[in-house]
């Protein structure tokens, strides 16, 4: 069964950087595009970034472009999100998700990892 497990969250000071990971199992990771989605406390879902199955193409929401970077290591079945210059408004649960099929809807989600930006 498809499993996505995020890690790397925690409390981080404003202005610092953080890298989140998403370990994938139960499917052929190297054949699916992957996403990061976040949700601030009590707020809605915000799509952040997408990476092609082979990592050649990456797309970002305008709100985070330039401050975050999505990447993947298909040899380790792992997705990453590098976040820089963190702000209080980046406090959120961060989810990784997999397309249901190529360029399809987000069909599988991890349980999320909480990032709190606070001094």
Q: C-beta of 66: minimal distance to other proteins in Å? A: 14
Among 14, 15, 26, 107, binds other proteins (CB under 8 A): 107
Q: Which two tokens stand for residue 78?
A: 């792992």
Closest CA to 33 of 81, 103, 105: 103
Q: C-beta of 105: minimal distance to other proteins in Å? A: 4
Closest CA to 73 of 21, 35, 8: 21
Q: What's the CA angle centered on 31, arms 26 and 35, to 5 degrees?
A: 80
Beta strands 45-51 and 106-109: pairing type? Answer: unpaired
Binding mask 15-44 for other proteins (x = CB under 8 A): --------------------x-x------x
Binding mask 41-60 for other proteins (x = CB under 8 A): ---xxxx--x--------xx
Query: What residues line the site for other proteins (CB under 8 A)?
Result: 35, 37, 44-47, 50, 59-62, 95, 100, 103-107, 109-112
């Amino acid at each position: 069964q498809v499993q996505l497990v995020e890690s790397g969250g925690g409390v981080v000071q404003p202005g610092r950087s953080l890298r989140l990971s998403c370990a994938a199992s139960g499917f052929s990771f190297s054949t699916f595009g992957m996403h990061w989605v976040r949700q601030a406390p009590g707020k809605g879902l915000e799509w952040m970034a997408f990476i092609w199955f082979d990592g050649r193409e990456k797309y970002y929401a305008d709100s985070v472009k330039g401050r975050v970077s999505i990447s993947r290591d298909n040899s380790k079945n792992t997705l990453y999100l590098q976040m820089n210059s963190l702000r209080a408004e980046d406090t959120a649960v961060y989810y990784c998700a997999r397309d249901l099929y190529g360029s399809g809807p987000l069909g599988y989600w991890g349980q999320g990892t909480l990032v709190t930006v606070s001094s």
